[in-house]
Amino acid sequence: MTRTLIAVVLISNVLLTACAEPQGPEQAIKGQITGMEDALAERSSMKFMATLAESFLGGRSGQLDTDKDAARKMLAVYFLRYHRIRVAVTHIEVKIYPDEQFLASASARVALAGGENLLPNAAGFYQVTSQWRNFDGDWKLTRLQWQ
């Protein structure tokens, strides 16, 4: 009985996934943002960096002085400094450019905290704006600014 129930659930999941509507750009970008959030919480720099385009540039509002390699190094330092990382991304708004379907922007509010124990040693709240580009069906982060 248990094996039959498991088989039915698995087959149902496969069929529902196959019949689902194709994921739109907004949902795909939100999924990428959620994946980045999860990667930070899991301390997975590989998973996080996979979302960044090779041409990535980021920085505080008005400054784009962090390339992909500098972002990787900054992430490594953050992971070394803080054993526990908590991230909360809210108020995500995605806009697909009407004239260019392969370009999009997104904004969100981000709370980021890091520490060694239950209480964080450091915390910050940021308003984040980003630009995304679709590379062969895969949305990648090209620009990221925070304040």
Fold of 24-146: Nuclear Transport Factor 2; Chain: A, (3.10.450)
The predicted pLDDT at position 115 comes to: 73
The predicted pLDDT at position 18 comes to: 45
Give 36: exposed, middle or buried? Use CB within 10 Å, 0-12, 13-18, 19+.
buried
Q: How far apart are CA 145 and CA 118, in angstroms?
A: 29
Q: How far apart are CA 32 and CA 50, in angstroms?
A: 10
Report residue 110's pLDDT band, with 50, 70 and 90 as the boundaries: very high
Average pLDDT along the chain:
84
- Choose between 126 and 116: higher pLDDT: 126
The predicted pLDDT at position 82 comes to: 84
pLDDT tens figures, 12-71 = 444 444 444 457 999 999 999 999 999 998 999 999 999 999 999 999 988 889 999 999
Q: How far apart are CA 84 and CA 55, in angstroms?
A: 30
The yes-or-no verdict on residue 7 having pLDDT over 50 is: no
* DSSP code for 84: E
| Lowest mean pLDDT segment, chosen from 14-28, 106-120, 130-144 | 14-28
pTM: 0.79
Report residue 10's pLDDT band, with 50, 70 and 90 as the boundaries: very low
CB 53 within 8 Å of CB 69: no
- Choose between 20 and 75: higher pLDDT: 75
- Single out the residue of 122, 136, 109, 104 nearest to residue 29, CA to CA: 104
Q: How far apart are CA 126 and CA 1, in angstroms?
A: 51
